[in-house]
Structure 1
Amino acid sequence: MSTIIQGNQVRSILFGVRVSKSYAAFAAETATLFTVTGGKVLVTSLVGEVTTAITVANTVKLQANPTTGTTKDLCAATDIGTTDTPVGDLLSFQGLTGDSILHGPGAVPTLKQPLVINTGTIEQVTTGTGPDGAVTWVLTYVPLDDGAAVVAA
């Protein structure tokens, strides 16, 4: 039996373009994950996979930092280290104002509603004393403006 449409093509039709960014070593900092250029994009999913266990109490949030305008939290700062978050756990949030980051082994919900992000950056803000761990973030998007794109920072 032949396959007419491949898995990556189905994903592109449903969610748009895929971009990934490995945040190799958590630190108490604001780290740029993705850069949005050329106009507005519609973020259809944003999921992280823990690649190094997170074992130290810390809070993590994601935010949109536009080139012009006000920085906006995409989710609430969430402690993901007091109760260890092991390798392979997934991280996500539902896209509603004030949502915490959800994490679990093998399954988490993704955005209930897509997010419109303007030109600028998407950042991970990590706080705490000596945070540890690493995450690979995968974002999918659809350009809303001609020429708009997202790249890993």
Structure 2
Amino acid sequence: MAWWEEIGLGIKVERAADALAIDASPGEPFFTVTGLIRLTGLLGYCTVAVGGANTCQFTLDPDAAGAAVTVLDANLDITASTEGDIISIAGDPGTNLMAGHVCVQQMLPVAPRGVILEAGVIGFIATAALGTFRWVLYYKPVDDGATVTVI
């Protein structure tokens, strides 16, 4: 990566707006990670209000043999999310998914240099089929040829 690519958030990958689905661990597959990456941002933009209890969480289901599913954040009930709200991860598996009302949210405040992820599948756990979100992920490859793609 050239020096100027290190200044920004990295490569942007977008997942089109889609209704949330009920899914337990390891979660509904959202993104495939091939190779070691540095996750620099992961956010969801609410396009249809949640309107009811819906506890959510991101996970990484690693490709490595025998590796366990890893949570990327502590779960959070996003009941109050309305159109225009933004949710994001903090960068610490013990910190709740962050929900910001209407247009303002931090990305990875606990891990400002990013979170290193192994190859695998980033999934989204939801306890209810309520709400619609558009997802944006930013990353920088650590391994040559490492990528993130939408599932």
TM-score by length of 2: 0.86
Once the two structures are superposed, residues 110-152 of structure 1 have per-residue CA deviations (whole angstroms, 9 ceiling, x without a partner) of 1131111111110001114xx3111111010000001100011
What is residue 117 of structure 2 aligned with on the other side?
Answer: 117
Residue in 2 that maps onto 1:53: 49
Of 75, 86, 96, the match for 2:73:
75
Residues 134, 54 of structure 1: alpha-carbon distance in 2 compared, 3 angstrom cutoff: same
SS at match of 2:46: strand
| Counterpart residue identity of residue 116, structure 2 | V
- Whether the aligned pair in 1 keeps the contact of 2:17 and 2:47 (CA below 8 Å) is no
Matches within 5 A, 1:4-23: 13-22=7-16
Runs of 5+ unmatched residues, structure 1? 1-9
How far 1:97 sits from its partner (Å)? 2.8
| Partners of 1:44 and 1:80 in 2: CA distance | 22
Partner of 2:30: 33
Q: Which residue of 1 aligns with 2:133?
A: 135
In 1: Cα distance, 2:92 partner to 2:119 partner: 21
Where in structure 2 are there 5+ consecutive unaligned residues?
none
- Amino acid across the alignment from 1:54: V
Moved over 3 A (4+): 10-13
Whether the 8 Å CA contact 2:60–2:70 is kept in 1: the answer is yes
Deviates more, 1:136-145 or 1:111-120: 111-120
Deviation, 1:11, is 8.3
CA shift at 1:44, angstroms? 0.5
Give the C-alpha shift of residue 94 in structure 1: 1.3
- After TM superposition, the score normalised by the length of structure 1 is 0.85
How far is the alpha carbon of 1:12 from its aligned partner?
7.6
DSSP-derived class of the 2:41 partner: strand
What is the deviation of 1:93? 2.2
Q: Does the CA-based 8 Å contact 1:50-1:136 persist in structure 2?
A: yes
Q: Which has the larger radius of gyration?
A: 1
